Homo-oligomer: A and B are copies of this chain.
């Protein structure tokens, strides 16, 4: 499964992505987590300590190094991944390992005024498209906020997408735009998750906006996620049983074909 997680900034993409990859890893699945957000934070959501995060070399910088050494034009064609097309190879060569998860970080924009992140996205698309998965392998990509990455079709190699929505008009609008653009790049299998739901009114608000779409689950608004972020812990660390079951159900529903 090649899964992308999208949604408005702040809706809970990194939280959900981290929960899904950690739960998959706990079940012994080989999982490659990809942080495709230039304003990267998946490492923090996975509970990787700040001092460790600094050791992670973004693949954009790794690619530049390889390009320098080999003269290969990695930016244009993503040969870097064509040479290593299996999750296990990529994970071995480039990923940071944490609690059974292999993490690839796309990398933030290096320097103010240094141009757009498009070359990084070409590389990312090559990775996502060319990667060969075994039956139980998974690639989970935490997309950058908003819709620009879809304009660049970073997601065109994925076979499944989750859009996470919080109960606000702006998140609804954002979701509509993502659905439209996803359709343009030929992505069919899209599921929704409602997040930060404070009660039946919030849930109805979100469901009514997307009556045709399949919801994987409804995550209640709870302080625990905020606290985990503030205190630099993994999203699953110290999570109460009911919230954990809610996330496990989402993962279970994700396996059911549309």
A interface, CB within 8 angstroms of B: 8-11, 14, 37-39, 41, 44-45, 50, 108-118, 121, 144-148, 150-153, 156, 167-171, 173-174, 177, 180-185, 202, 205, 226, 229-232
Contacts and interface: CB of A to CB of B under 8 A. Distances in A.
5 contacts: A9-B145, A44-B169, A109-B147, A109-B181, A116-B116
Contact of A109 (B109, B151, B168, B173): B151
- Give the top 9 A-B pairs by smallest Cβ distance, nearest first: A10-B10, A9-B9, A39-B146, A112-B184, A109-B151, A9-B145, A168-B229, A112-B181, A41-B170
B116 A152 contact: yes
Contacts of A152: 113, 115-116
A112 to B, nearest CB: 3
A181 B111 contact: yes
Nearest to A168: B229
Contacts of A229: 168-171
B41 A116 contact: no
A174 B37 CA distance: 11
A9 B109 CA distance: 16
A177 B145 CA distance: 16
Contact of A38 (B41, B151, B169, B171): B151
Given A148-B109, A169-B232, A39 B184 contact: no
A258 B229 CA distance: 31
Contacts of A45: 170
